[in-house]
Amino acid sequence: MERAERLSGTWTRVAVVIVVSFLSGMLTFFAQGLLPEAVNSFANSASGWTLVTVLVLAWARVRTAFAAVLGAASFVLLTLGYSASAHMQGLFYDPTLFAAVGVLVGPFVGIATSWLRAESRWQAAAGTALLSGIGLGEGTYGLTVVADTTSPVYWTLVAVIALGLLVAMLFRRIHGVLVVLLAVVGTGAIAGAFVVAYSALGGV
């Protein structure tokens, strides 16, 4: 009975992740025209959808394997939700590219989110490096590559949140010289790789 209840609870959380991801994708489309200019880039950036995925998976607290699958599913559903809203407005948005990116990147975001609460310091450091690196990378991209066409407020906020996660994890979970180096150097490396990859994809 107890095992059945746990499974039921898990599948309930999975269903919530699916629904919230799709609806968030739909809302993102409309948010582009509703959010203040200072934070409008939230609705048209990788970090916006990454934040949604991380928050909903952190709430779900599923096992790592489930988190990997749901990470991919969340990104795909965000993209499909956005496309659905576009079609509702008589517009066309092809979700193929970013759905494919979500399938590739989503599992890593899911695993990283799960690892933030892992007992292993190495896993916590690796998860922190990935998530902080994504935020710092897009913040850097926004403040440099698209600085002339977007407000710096959102990009600065993203970078501050990313660095805040890194600092918080260093204080709470990540201790030891090598583990700290993994988190710090890994964050920088992933941020750099993000800027290069995002520039190649055309960015925001």
DSSP at 92: -
* Mean pLDDT (whole number) for 8-15: 82
Q: How far apart are CA 51 and CA 119, in angstroms?
A: 23
**Cβ-based neighbours of 99, under 8 Å, separated by 6 or more:** 75, 76, 79, 80
3-class DSSP state of 164: helix
Look at residue 180 in the predicted model and tell me its pLDDT.
97
Q: How far apart are CA 61 and CA 129, in angstroms?
A: 19
**Residue ranges per structural domain of the chain:** 1-115, 120-204
- For the ranges 13-17, 44-48, 78-82, 142-146, the maximum mean pLDDT occurs at 78-82
The answer to whether 133 touches 194, Cβ cutoff 8 Å, is yes
pLDDT tens-place string over residues 25-75: 999 999 988 888 888 888 888 889 999 999 999 999 989 999 999 999 999
pLDDT tens-place string over residues 88-142: 999 988 889 889 989 999 999 999 999 999 989 999 999 999 999 999 999 999 9
* Mean pLDDT (whole number) for 71-91: 94
